Chains A and B, each alone.
Chain A
Amino acid sequence: GAGVSQSPSNKVTEKGKDVELRCDPISGHTALYWYRQSLGQGLEFLIYFQGNSAPDKSGLPSDRFSAERTGGSVSTLTIQRTQQEDSAVYLCASSRTSGGLSYEQYFGPGTRLTVT
């Protein structure tokens, strides 16, 4: 079956511009996550959506970052007034959930964001 897809695969933007990154999770997965990976750093959690619950935004680094998930499926991560330190690979993942059981997260290929 189809995996997690992300678009665009690469995005180059000028400092101060807004960008939108898209994630299409695996069909039927109720949980969706955004992470970012900077050179030499581990994956850093940004935000987590679980069903119809309020998202866990505890990882967002500043109020320039926001995300939404429409219809329990597609998600968009928006970065406003981009800064050079926002340059990174942004990864989306999705998983099944059932009660308190933790299922593996499946990752998309990522969007490489470069802010010039």
Chain B
Amino acid sequence: EDQVTQSPEALRLQEGESSSLNCSYTVSGLRGLFWYRQDPGKGPEFLFTLYSAGEEKEKERLKATLTKKESFLHITAPKPEDSATYLCAVQGGSQGNLIFGKGTKLSVKP
């Protein structure tokens, strides 16, 4: 069964304190791994797509990496506005839908 597990469930950082969020997955025939950001009361906002092990993508203070079993979202020198829930999802086999993890709630204190 395809599955996505995110850790930690919650992460509290001081402004400027870099860290990483983990997404472990099992899927038959990975077609893509996706990272989203979700603010309270809003729909998920697309961040990155990774297709194959070794791939990396960056956007401002965020960098996503992918191995055959997990993905990391690295946050460098975070700011309070980076506070949100970060969701990881995979698409595998012949599926069209995404399978989501439960997310990591990030809080960045000034």
Contacts and interface: CB of A to CB of B under 8 A. Distances in A.
Indicate whether A and B interact: yes
Interface residues of B, number: 24
A68 interface: no
Interface string A1-30: 000100000000000000000000000000
A109 interface: yes
B101 A91 contact: no
Contact of B43 (A56, A59, A103, A110): A110
B43 to A, nearest CB: 4
Nearest to B46: A104
A34 B38 CA distance: 17
Contact of A105 (B4, B51, B98): B98
A45 B97 contact: yes
B73 to A, nearest CB: 15
A109 B96 contact: no
A102 B99 CA distance: 13
Interface in A25-83: 31, 33, 35, 40-43, 45, 48, 50, 56, 59
Given A50-B96, A100-B31, A42 B46 contact: no
Interface in A76-116: 91, 93, 97, 100, 102-110
Contacts of A97: 96
A91 B38 CA distance: 12
Given A33-B97, A45-B98, A59-B97, A102 B32 contact: yes
B46 A33 contact: no
A105 B45 CA distance: 9
Interface of B: 4, 31-32, 34, 36, 42-46, 49, 51, 87, 89, 91, 95-103
